[in-house]
Structure 1
Amino acid sequence: MDGLTYDEVGATAGPMPPGYHHVRAHRVVGRGREHFERAADLLLAGEVQRRAGARVELSDTPMREGSRVTMRLGLGILSFRIPCLVVWADRSETTAGFAYGTLPGHPERGEERFTLTMLPTGEVAFDIAAFSSPGRWFTRVGAPIGRVVQARMTQRYLRALDAR
């Protein structure tokens, strides 16, 4: 896909590529068809990122392959613009999700996938998979801090779809 800052498009769907920091996280966020449908609507509207504290602009709602996502984190001059391109999106009776990849200007290089699954037990599971490496000089210098921020955001993302 044009403009992405990495070559391994779609790799969050399976074995992740070497040379990157990998994240895999899982959480049961609710139970039942009603919760799955509501959570899927929220996920594909960018609400996971909003509820985690990012300001989010979407080119399309619900997100679909080719949608542009621009997030901002931080305040004032310490605010980061985070441009992404949706490289996969799907919604079925039992799954919903999307993956986005980094575009030029993103502080990192890589991909992140968010998948919601209605399990046969009735539980609604939320999974996140990501691979990334520093994409700018300041993220290379601050890589240890970046990993802490990434871990914190992953936990916020996971809690964003909890049954309320």
Structure 2
Amino acid sequence: MPELTYPEVGATAGALPDGYRHVRIRRTIGRGRDAFERAGDDLLRGEAQKRAGVDISLSQVPLRVGTTVRMRLPLGFLAFSAPCRVVWAERTAERAGFAYGTLPRHPLRGEERFELRLLPTGDVCFSITAFSAPGRWFTRLGAPLVRVVQTRMIRRYLDALVEHSPEERSRDER
């Protein structure tokens, strides 16, 4: 089994390590237990990535520690392989999420954490925490473009789990 490409495994759970680009973003995506359960199911099936336009295959569903995540990221006429391994996964009554770390051949090196929380107010919050640095020659060379693409993908991940009204869900299922 290939080794992760960074030493700070699990750091998205706390203080982010120096020497990387940091991302911490949070968004309210819905309200109530049903919205939380639906989003949790989707998140642990890789739906945030799929709905964001990533071609993804998972070695296990739902995601759990040790799951291999193979993504293919389209960028114009190019596509990049982005293999990862899940290093943390949890599902409780108020929290659902996972974090994956980069494997060899990923364009970056680092970790990304996707976490849902059902707050006492009833709001369902989706947060993404990440640290990353270029992992290949072309991501070092194209670092400014990589930051733009990464920011765009994180926004797409956040949008992917937004709760839709019952009418919108019904229309989507047709």
TM-score (norm 1): 0.97
TM-superposed deviation, 1:75: 6.2
Hey, what does 1:54 align to over in structure 2?
Answer: 54
CA RMSD of aligned residues (A): 1.3
Hey, what does 1:97 align to over in structure 2?
Answer: 97
Q: Residue by residue, what CA displacement relative to the aligned partner does 1:56-115 show, whole Å, maximum 9, x if unpaired?
A: 000000000000000001169611010000000000000000000000000000000000
> How far apart, in 2, do the equivalents of 1:161 and 1:76 lie?
24
> How far apart, in 1, do the equivalents of 2:113 and 2:81 lie?
19
> How far apart, in 2, do the equivalents of 1:162 and 1:54 lie?
17
> How far apart, in 1, do the equivalents of 2:44 and 2:56 lie?
12
> How far apart, in 2, do the equivalents of 1:152 and 1:74 lie?
13
TM-superposed deviation, 1:19: 0.2
Query: Per the alignment, in what secondary structure is the counterpart of residue 79 of structure 1?
Result: strand
AA aligned to 2:73 is L
Query: Per the alignment, in what secondary structure is the counterpart of residue 24 of structure 2?
Result: strand
TM-superposed deviation, 1:10: 0.3
Hey, what does 1:159 align to over in structure 2?
Answer: 159
Hey, what does 1:88 align to over in structure 2?
Answer: 88
AA aligned to 2:122 is G
> When the two structures are aligned, how many residues end up with a matched partner?
164
Moved more, 94-103 or 71-80: 71-80
AA aligned to 2:141 is V
Q: Whose Rg is larger? A: 2
User: 2:2 touches 2:104 (CA, 8 Å); kept in 1?
Assistant: no
Hey, what does 2:28 align to over in structure 1?
Answer: 28
Q: Residue by residue, what CA displacement relative to the aligned partner does 1:28-74 show, whole Å, maximum 9, x if unpaired?
A: 00000000000000000000000011000000000000000000011
Hey, what does 1:118 align to over in structure 2?
Answer: 118
User: 2:99 touches 2:113 (CA, 8 Å); kept in 1?
Assistant: yes
What stretches of structure 1 of length at least 5 have no aligned partner? none
> How far apart, in 2, do the equivalents of 1:83 and 1:162 lie?
26
TM-superposed deviation, 1:2: 5.6
Hey, what does 1:78 align to over in structure 2?
Answer: 78
> How far apart, in 1, do the equivalents of 2:11 and 2:24 lie?
13
Identity across matched positions, percent? 63
1:7 aligns with 2:17: no
Hey, what does 1:134 align to over in structure 2?
Answer: 134
> How far apart, in 1, do the equivalents of 2:73 and 2:13 lie?
26
> How far apart, in 2, do the equivalents of 1:101 and 1:113 lie?
9
Residues 146 and 76 (structure 1 numbering): CA distance in 2 closer, same or farther, change over 3 Å?
A: closer
AA aligned to 1:123 is D
